A and B are shown apart, each in its own frame.
Chain A
C-alpha cells in the first residue's frame, strides 16, 4: 500500500489564498482528485485530473501538480469554503485518500 500525505490543518482569513498540499510517490505518475467535505455531508469533487474543475465549482478553486506533490489552491477563500479537504489517487488498483486537511477561514 502507499500513502498520500496532507497537512492536518490550514488556516486563512477571508479573501486570502489557501493552499493545501498532498504528497506521495504515486502522484508523479497518476492523476489526483480533490474532495471537499462539510460536516454531516457527503464529499463533493472540486478538482479532477490534477487541475480540472467540474462544472458548478467556483473558479477560485484550482489545482496544480509538480513531481510527487499536488496542490489545491483556493484564491480569495470564503467563509463557506471552511471544510475538510481530501486528495485521492491510486496505483495498481489500490485507491487511497489523503488523511484530510481541515481548512479554517476566519
Chain B
C-alpha cells in the first residue's frame, strides 16, 4: 500500500526549532516530487517547500531561510527542519508525494505544529 506517515509535530515556543519526518512506504520518494503543505487552523492550504527527484529544493517566501527540506533515500524518508519558528507557523503540516503528469498524488495524515509561549 502506498502510504506517507508524518511525525515530529508538537508544541514549541517562538524562536524554537522542530524537525518533521515523513516516512514513505509502497513507493520510492526519490523518484517523485515530494513537498510539504501546511494548513493553519480554519484556513486554506499553503505550499511550503518542494524537493524534486533530482534534488533541487524550493521554498515559499514565508519560510525561506528558516525551513530546510531534505530526504534520506536510504530510509525513504522526507524531512522538514523548521528553525526560528513563529506563531504564524502554527498549522497542520502534510507531506505529499506526487508525479507531475500522472494521477499519483499521495498525502500523509498530517502532523500538528503549535508555536506558542
A33 in complex: contacting residue of B58, B60, B94, B105, CB < 8 Å: B105
Size band of the A side of the interface?
Answer: 20 to 34
- Pick the interface stretch among A9-17, A46-54, A63-71: A46-54
Whether a CB of chain A sits under 8 angstroms from the CB of B27 is: no
With A86-B45, A100-B44 as contacts: A45 and B61 at CB distance below 8 Å? no
Q: Do A94 and B58 contact each other (CB < 8 Å), given the known contacts A86-B44, A99-B44? A: yes
A6, B56: Cα distance in complex, Å: 30
Contacts of B58 in A (CB 8 A): 93-95
Interface size range on B against A: 20 to 34
Within A34-85, the residues touching B (CB, 8 Å) are 35, 37, 42-45, 48-49, 52-55, 84
Is A106 located at the chain interface by the 8 A CB criterion? Answer: no
Known A-B contacts A42-B94, A48-B102, A49-B101; A96 and B47 likewise in contact (beta carbons under 8 Å): yes
**CA separation between A98 and B109, bound complex, in Å?**
21
Residues of B50-102 whose CB lies within 8 A of A:
50, 56, 58, 60-61, 94, 98, 101-102
B103 x A45 contact (CB < 8 A): yes
Inter-subunit contact B103/A97 (CB<8 Å): no
Once the chains are docked, how many angstroms separate the CA of A48 from the CA of B50? 18
* Given A1-B61, A49-B101, A94-B58: A42 in contact with B45 (beta carbons within 8 A): no
- What is the CA–CA distance of A98 and B108 in the complex, to the nearest angstrom? 20
Beyond A1-B61, A95-B50, whether A100 also contacts B45 by CB under 8 A is: yes
Q: Closest CB-CB distance, A59 to chain B, in whole Å?
A: 14
Residues of B within 8 A of A (CB): 35, 37, 44-47, 50, 56, 58, 60-61, 94, 98, 101-103, 105, 107-110
Q: List 16 A-B contacts (CB under 8 A).
A: A1-B61, A33-B105, A37-B45, A42-B109, A43-B107, A48-B105, A49-B101, A54-B105, A86-B44, A93-B50, A93-B56, A94-B58, A95-B47, A96-B47, A97-B37, A97-B45
